[in-house]
Amino acid sequence: MESLKDFSKLTDLISEVENINAASSVLSWDQNTFMPSLGSTGRGRQLATLGKIAHEKFTNSEIGMLLDKLKTFEKDSSYDSFESSYIRHVRKNYMKAVKVPSQLISEIITNQSNSYEAWIKAKEQNNFKLVQPFLEKNLELSKKYANCFEYNHIADPLIDNYDSGFTTTKIKELFNQLQKELIPFVKETLNYPQIDDSCLKKHYPLSLQEQFNKKLIEDLGYDFNRGRMDTTHHPFMISFSHGDVRITTRYQENFLAESLFSTIHETGHAFYELGNDISLDGTPLFGGTSSGVHESQSRLWENIVGRSYAFWEYFYPKLQTFFPDQLNDVSLHEFYSAINKVSNSLIRTDADELTYNIHVMIRFDLELQMLEGNLKVKDLPEAWNSRYLSDLGMNVPSDSLGCLQDVHWFCGLIGGEFQGYTLGNIMSAQFFEAAEKGNPLLSNEIKNGSFENLKKWLEKNLYQHGKKYNGLEVLKRATNKDLTIDPYMSYLKKKYPIK
């Protein structure tokens, strides 16, 4: 009884933190979608206050005391229970949060916002020097942050923030395996004749693209009573509660694939959170468990489902009715080839399914080198360019298209934010393979525009659990296998090269 009281006290305290964090998310969504330009000063002030209060409330020593008192209760509850998972999750984050001095937190926040401003300018003006001092400061702060914890590798505490259960060593091993198999395969694929994707590069009016995308994700099962779709420069998924999981997308009037696959990608993220068990709503267990697993869902829907032949057998005729002038002369096979065209390129977010991972692994290596002290910030552009030449055969014409292209290092700590993209690709295939094993008719269902069973499988085996288990745990539970690159490589080899 005493324990139940303590547990209920803990959930009361934590729910305040969750509600404040959700409120911050609403403010961020608004900032990225509809806020008038001169609202940013006030918005910064409001977000800073909410962030400060949430941090204060979360690191309140009362929470620490309750967690101590609840140790036996946690051990006596089944590992899979809501209570045990809740305490386990909160304890882990609490223990990390209290180790970081709040002074360091404010320094990090201040530098991040300055660094972001400087990055915008540096990228616009193709002038790395403008952001270099802020990036140096960020590297210093990232190291300071990591040094608040014990670790085997300095990147471990940073990686743990996004992909709990992973270490630098584990990811390096995995990426080495992947590189060994993927690089020769990419080269082989690139030797095939280049695919003509000009059918995607005709004029596609924005409003029609928007209408089609809305219809498309509704057919996939996205419920607009529990979400919305808006337009932003960088697409994202964001959620405020079980009943409010929103996505954004972006359009290019002269490139149809942009909005199509951004939209399906973000819908995949949204499905994950919409599929959380409702009992997790408003608790810290709500959401996706890690970057990698979250990305596995966006990539599963975007690539494995959304760029499959079966998928377009169903949707292509519908797409043609929206764009008869552009597509009636284009066969399904031509369209399918175009959306799966492989070619080396400069920009990660535009890369195809195969070369994408090379972009990610370059960044992962470079950030490790910076954190280890083996690469100075001032030498980053050169190191970047030489990797793009050796790994992707590309000459980087400017830093704006090179090491300044991604925002991550300039608006968050260095370390932890990139590996998830490739972990996600690897995991996406492992999840899909297991789903297919459970339902051999899966691709037939997709061909007929039925996604119900796939979603049910994912809900049962992954989505419902929210953050109850870490990424590796939930993958093992869902697929009966430890993480391996085999399903991913076998998926790719079955699909490519497209002839």
- Catalytic annotation, residues: 266
Nearer of residues 273 and 353 to a second copy, judged by Cβ: 273
Q: Which of 38, 194, 233, 452: binder of a second copy (CB under 8 A)?
A: 38
Minimum CB–partner distance for residue 27 and a second copy (Å): 5
**Largest CA-CA distance found in the chain, in angstroms, rounded:** 72
Minimum CB–partner distance for residue 467 and a second copy (Å): 17
Tell me the torsion sign for CA atoms 121, 124, 129, 132.
positive
Tell me the torsion sign for CA atoms 466, 468, 471, 473.
negative
Tell me the torsion sign for CA atoms 157, 158, 161, 164.
negative
Residue 62 is assigned to a ligand binding site: no
| Interface with a second copy, residue 136, by CB under 8 A | no
- C-beta neighbour count of 115 within 10 angstroms: 24
| Interface with a second copy, residue 39, by CB under 8 A | yes
| Interface with a second copy, residue 40, by CB under 8 A | yes
| Interface with a second copy, residue 59, by CB under 8 A | no
Nearer of residues 282 and 438 to a second copy, judged by Cβ: 282
- C-beta neighbour count of 109 within 10 angstroms: 15
Q: Which of 4, 5, 8, 34: binder of a second copy (CB under 8 A)?
A: 34
Binding window for a second copy (CB under 8 A); candidates: 80-88, 242-250, 424-432, 440-448: 242-250
Residue 210 is assigned to a ligand binding site: no
Minimum CB–partner distance for residue 16 and a second copy (Å): 5
Minimum CB–partner distance for residue 30 and a second copy (Å): 6
Cα–Cα distance for residue pair 495/126, rounded to 1 Å:
38
Binding window for a second copy (CB under 8 A); candidates: 27-35, 130-138, 423-431, 455-463: 27-35
Minimum CB–partner distance for residue 461 and a second copy (Å): 24
Order of strands across the sheet with 244-249?
A: 229-231, 244-249, 237-241
Binding window for a second copy (CB under 8 A); candidates: 24-32, 98-106, 140-148, 338-346: 24-32
Cα–Cα distance for residue pair 456/464, rounded to 1 Å:
10
Instruction: List phi, psi (to 5°) of 231.
Output: -110, 130
Contact 27, 45 (CB under 8 A): no
246-305 binders of a second copy (CB under 8 A): 246, 281-282
Which residues face 229 on adjacent strands? 247
Which residue type is seen at 25? S
Q: Which of 3, 9, 35, 436: binder of a second copy (CB under 8 A)?
A: 35
Residue 408: which residues within 8 A CB-CB, separation 6 or more? Answer: 363, 417, 418
| Closest listed residue to residue 101, CA positions, set 148, 52, 54 | 148
Cα–Cα distance for residue pair 174/486, rounded to 1 Å:
11
Distances in whole angstroms, Cα of residue 98 to Cα of each of 59, 92, 377, 402, 467: 6, 10, 30, 37, 21
Q: Which of 240, 251, 309, 315: binder of a second copy (CB under 8 A)?
A: 240
| Interface with a second copy, residue 242, by CB under 8 A | yes
| Interface with a second copy, residue 109, by CB under 8 A | no
Q: Which of 4, 5, 8, 45: binder of a second copy (CB under 8 A)?
A: 45
| Interface with a second copy, residue 20, by CB under 8 A | yes
Q: How many residues bind a second copy (CB under 8 A)?
A: 41
Minimum CB–partner distance for residue 307 and a second copy (Å): 28
Residue 273 is assigned to a ligand binding site: no
Nearest-5° angle of CA 104, CA 108, CA 114?
Answer: 145
Map residues 206-235 to x or -, x wherever contact with a second copy holds by CB under 8 A.
-----------------xxxxxx-------
Residue 347: which residues within 8 A CB-CB, separation 6 or more? Answer: 401, 405
Write out the residues near a second copy by the rule CB under 8 A: 15-16, 19-20, 22-24, 26-27, 29-30, 34-43, 45-46, 48-50, 53, 223-228, 240-244, 246, 281-282
**Annotated binding residues:** 265, 269, 295
**Annotated binding residues for Zn(2+):** 265, 269, 295
